[in-house]
């Protein structure tokens, strides 16, 4: 692959992800909060109580922080692969992109559609249960790039789905045609362990973590219209305008993952009391959007081991129906636990498919690692 434009961010080698760290004062504060919970001391009153604030509706959230939550990453992709795509004699015909889980905007698919590259959609899960089915990709007779955006959607932990993935990787490993595979980090960790998938493809590439500077620039740009923002963002805790320190905390809490940070940011935005009555506003000369504390999530206290098995299965497959979950977990109790995981806001459900909530992913990841599950690599 030729050297890309040095002025633009490009993907890093798998294993080189720069995990953001929590600012020291926030680490001390969170430690202090745990001490306070232990001794039950009085808490200082916030500038404006969170329970007096209202959730911003979807229309307003979309105005301030519109989807998709991946535009800067697709820019990184283009900077990384634009020259490789048109290279007739590349050093590698095949590339792997490993992404953190929770990418609901579809980074690879969005990029492929924007630049007109053919996409191989994952087969229906029901079709993957037929081991004799043929899901091979077109061969060397075409010179266009082929993109397989979601290897994690190929029902990896079912023996039939895994057999199809192995055959696919074996085919791609010898194909002399530009090919790009996308896979989330937990699914790739599973494939490496189950079928040594890393031996069939080159070392993967990962996007850069979003540090405070990049996060602030991106989220504030989303809030702008015609070059300026209509809103002033203030912390409900002390009334101050959000600053670099806030974005440093958001970067650390989100693990530098843009779609996690984007969802945490949207969940923190609140409308003040008397938003439509200026005489009741704290700052009547501005359009204030209040930023409450970033959400904390907790695992259910009952059936913790089954909850972790369920969350692990959902991360590996991106999303599953209850019936599919029962096929890839050792106990039917996993699907029985889904309502309580939804209640805890660790999981959500759309069209019968369950998936981990991106904003809860850092807590889920920590819980899985603490319980001894093999951790993902970025």
Q: Kindly list the structural domains of the chain, giving each domain's residue range(s) and its CATH number in brackets, ordered by start.
A: 93-201 (no CATH), 304-356 (1.10.10.10)
DSSP lists the bridge partners of residue 119 as 147
Report d(CA 6, CA 86) in Å as an integer.
Answer: 18
What was the pLDDT predicted at 4? 46
336, exposed or middle or buried, with CB in 10 Å at 0-12, 13-18, 19+? middle
pTM summary value: 0.91
Ranking 2-6, 116-120, 161-165, 271-275 by mean pLDDT, the lowest is 2-6
The token duo for 158 is 């079912």
* Whether pLDDT at 273 is above 90: no
Report d(CA 288, CA 281) in Å as an integer.
Answer: 9
Ranking 24-33, 122-131, 250-259, 363-372 by mean pLDDT, the lowest is 24-33
What was the pLDDT predicted at 245? 94
pLDDT tens digits, residue range 279-335? 567 777 788 999 998 888 999 888 999 999 999 999 999 999 999 999 999 888 889
User: Mean of the pLDDT values across residues 75-93?
Assistant: 95
Q: Give me the DSSP letters along 317-358.
A: HS-B-HHHHHHHSS-THHHHTHHHHHHTTSEEEETTEEEE-G
Report d(CA 377, CA 19) in Å as an integer.
Answer: 11
The token duo for 320 is 């599953």
The H or E element that residue 215 is part of is helix 212-222
Q: Which of 129-138, 216-225, 275-284 is most confident? A: 216-225
């Amino acid at each position: 692959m030729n050297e890309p434009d040095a002025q633009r961010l490009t993907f890093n080698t798998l294993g080189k992800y720069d995990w953001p760290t929590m600012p020291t004062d926030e680490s001390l504060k969170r430690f202090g909060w745990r001490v306070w919970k232990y001794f039950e001391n009085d808490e200082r009153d916030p500038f404006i109580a969170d329970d007096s604030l209202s959730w911003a509706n979807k229309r307003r959230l979309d105005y301030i922080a519109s989807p998709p939550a991946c535009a800067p990453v697709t820019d990184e992709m283009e900077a990384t692969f634009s020259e490789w795509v048109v290279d007739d004699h590349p050093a590698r015909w095949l590339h792997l992109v490993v992404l953190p889980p929770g990418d609901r905007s579809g980074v690879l698919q969005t990029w492929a559609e924007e630049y007109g590259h053919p996409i191989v959609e994952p087969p229906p899960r029901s079709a993957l249960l037929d081991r004799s089915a043929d899901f091979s990709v077109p061969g060397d007779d075409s010179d266009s790039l082929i993109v397989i955006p979601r290897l994690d959607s190929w029902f990896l932990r079912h023996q039939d789905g895994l057999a199809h993935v192995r055959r696919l990787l074996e085919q791609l490993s010898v194909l002399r045609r530009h090919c790009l595979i996308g896979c989330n980090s937990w699914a790739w960790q599973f494939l490496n362990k189950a079928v040594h998938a890393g031996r069939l493809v080159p070392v993967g590439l990962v996007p850069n973590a979003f540090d405070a500077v990049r996060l602030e620039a991106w989220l504030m740009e989303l809030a702008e219209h015609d070059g300026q923002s209509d809103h002033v963002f203030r912390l409900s805790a002390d009334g101050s305008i959000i600053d670099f320190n806030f974005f440093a905390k958001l970067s650390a809490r989100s693990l530098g993952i843009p779609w996690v940070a984007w969802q945490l940011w949207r969940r923190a935005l609140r409308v003040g009391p008397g938003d439509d009555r200026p005489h009741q506003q704290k700052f009547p000369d501005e359009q204030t959007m209040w930023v409450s504390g970033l959400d904390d999530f907790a695992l259910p206290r009952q059936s913790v081991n089954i909850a972790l098995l369920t969350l692990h299965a959902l991360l590996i497959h991106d999303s599953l129906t209850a019936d599919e979950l029962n096929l890839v977990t050792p106990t039917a109790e996993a699907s029985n636990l889904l309502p309580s995981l939804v209640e805890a806001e660790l999981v959500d459900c759309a069209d019968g498919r369950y998936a981990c909530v991106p904003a809860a992913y850092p807590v889920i990841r920590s819980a899985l690692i603490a319980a001894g599950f093999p951790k993902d690599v970025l």
